[in-house]
Amino acid sequence: DNVSIEYMNADGVIAVDFNESVNPNGLITMYRPSDKSLDYQVNIQSSKTNIPVQKLKKGLWRVKVDWKENDKAYYAEKDIFL
């Protein structure tokens, strides 16, 4: 896969890491299935993006990653329980 999405409990972040060969341009959506008002988006700035979890409500989050590379669209998602 081109991207990994992992909850790093000790670091207090959700880490979204792309392979070094990938130069991503896109968005990470933090989707809260039980409360849409908590959804928000983060621009992908580099091959490594850390999303702090301190202010996120406990429970289920779906991390959705949409990006483009060489004019081709990609998508990945992972459910994370905080």
Task: Give the domains, in start order, of the chain with CATH numbers.
Answer: 3-81 (2.60.40)
The per-residue pLDDT for 80 is 98
Rounded Cα gap, residues 22 and 20, in angstroms: 5
Rounded Cα gap, residues 10 and 7, in angstroms: 9
Read off the pTM: 0.92
Rounded Cα gap, residues 82 and 71, in angstroms: 34
Paired tokens of 18: 């792309």
The residues with which 77 forms a beta bridge, in sequence order, are 64
Pairing state of beta strands 3-8 and 13-18? antiparallel
Per-residue pLDDT of 25-80, as tens digits, reads 899 999 999 999 999 999 998 899 999 999 999 999 999 999 998 889 999 999 99
Paired tokens of 46: 């580099």
